[in-house]
């Protein structure tokens, strides 16, 4: 335990290390994991507080970048590692993930994510065909962006991507006082239950254009990339109000618009022709 205290006081900011120290919250996270026998992928096990509870009922594959923490985890969890119920992968999870699936079997992602790469990790999990759900602690603002419904202020391109593959929910908030060291922001637990996976760079780029200036009209944002008359005709055809703001449009509208714009290969080149 002394070693653990030392590691906590030497938390490395570079790796987004804020260790969760509230057992009750750890229990609430465990209870929110979908009820089946799938393996859990944990990103950033840190000092192993969440890992310790995860391995009670699950097989776990954990990915930790910090060598000091990997050594600590290998010592603390030598028994489950020997028994094959826990695997620790030491290294950068994003490098390891690449364009492949993170694991070779279906899994649930459970993690108190390092905030500097949280959005990136969730987006990768949405695309990963092996990932069945995402249960993560992230900055509250990020959780809201992934889980908002159309019409809410926080509805964003990330909400549309979530709704395109499943359903996102902000479960509860976690105050900074529950971490060592405390982060500067409030955190939230986000759960995304996936029904499918989708890896469509074209659609992601289209959403970036659609939400470029979130307070402007959707048609205005789209007209920065596509011909204005094409957008006007499409809005008429799909019976979309011209003054609709990006956060007010349902996910299905984005899919209709994207499909129509891609049908005839209408893109920036057309605008410039």
- Distance separating alpha carbons of residues 238 and 94, to the nearest angstrom: 39
- Residue from 63, 72, 99, 104 nearest 7 by CA: 72
Among 50, 174, 190, 261, binds ligand SAM (CB under 6 A): 50
The DSSP annotation for 178-189 comes to GEESPPSS-EEE
- Give the range of 110-118, 143-151, 190-198, 211-219 binding ligand SAM by CB under 6 A: 110-118
Binding of ligand SAM by 44 (CB under 6 A): yes
Among 46, 80, 166, 246, binds ligand SAM (CB under 6 A): 46
Binding of ligand SAM by 109 (CB under 6 A): no
When the beta carbons of 15 and 240 are compared against ligand SAM, the nearer one is 15
Q: Which residues pair with 63 in a beta bridge?
A: 43, 89
Among 30, 39, 81, 94, binds ligand SAM (CB under 6 A): 94
Binding of ligand SAM by 112 (CB under 6 A): yes
CB of 49 to ligand SAM, least distance (A): 5
Binding of ligand SAM by 218 (CB under 6 A): no
Binding of ligand SAM by 62 (CB under 6 A): no
Specify the residue for token string 């979130």.
214
Among 7, 38, 40, 45, binds ligand SAM (CB under 6 A): 45
Binding of ligand SAM by 141 (CB under 6 A): no
Pairing of strands 131-139, 107-112: parallel
Pairing of strands 166-174, 131-139: unpaired
Q: Which residues pair with 136 in a beta bridge?
A: 111, 190
- Distance separating alpha carbons of residues 233 and 214, to the nearest angstrom: 22
Binding of ligand SAM by 128 (CB under 6 A): no
Among 40, 55, 59, 66, binds ligand SAM (CB under 6 A): 66
- Distance separating alpha carbons of residues 39 and 105, to the nearest angstrom: 8
Among 7, 19, 102, 192, binds ligand SAM (CB under 6 A): 19
Binding of ligand SAM by 97 (CB under 6 A): no
Contact 218, 209 (CB under 8 A): no
Q: Which of left, alpha, beta for 208 (phi over 0: left; psi -120 to 50: alpha)?
A: alpha
Which residues make up the interface to ligand SAM (CB under 6 A)? 15-20, 43-47, 49-50, 63-66, 69, 92-94, 112, 114, 117
């Amino acid at each position: 335990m002394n070693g653990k205290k030392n590691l906590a006081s030497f938390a490395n900011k570079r790796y987004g290390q804020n260790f969760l120290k509230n057992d009750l919250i750890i229990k609430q996270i465990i209870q929110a994991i979908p009820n089946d026998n799938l393996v859990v992928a944990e990103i950033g096990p840190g000092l192993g507080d969440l890992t310790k509870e995860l391995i009670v009922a699950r097989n776990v594959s954990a990915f930790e970048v910090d060598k000091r923490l990997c050594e600590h985890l290998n010592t603390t969890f030598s028994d489950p590692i020997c028994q094959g119920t826990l695997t620790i992968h030491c290294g950068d999870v994003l490098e390891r993930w690449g364009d492949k699936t993170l694991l070779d079997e279906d899994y649930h992602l459970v993690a108190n994510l390092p905030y500097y790469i949280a959005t990136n990790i969730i987006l990768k999990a949405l695309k990963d065909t092996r990932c069945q759900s995402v249960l993560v602690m992230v900055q509250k603002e990020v959780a809201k962006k992934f889980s908002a419904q159309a019409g809410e202020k926080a509805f964003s391109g990330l909400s549309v991507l979530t709704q395109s593959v499943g359903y996102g929910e902000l479960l509860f908030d976690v105050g900074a006082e529950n971490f060592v060291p405390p982060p500067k922001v409030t955190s939230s637990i986000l759960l995304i239950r996936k029904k499918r996976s989708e890896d469509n760079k074209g659609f992601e780029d289209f959403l970036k254009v659609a939400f470029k200036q979130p307070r402007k009209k959707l048609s205005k944002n789209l007209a920065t990339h596509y011909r204005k008359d094409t957008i006007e005709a499409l809005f008429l055809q799909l019976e979309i109000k011209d003054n609709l703001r990006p956060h007010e449009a349902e996910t299905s509208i984005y899919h209709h618009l994207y499909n129509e714009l891609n049908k005839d290969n209408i893109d920036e080149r057309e605008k410039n022709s």
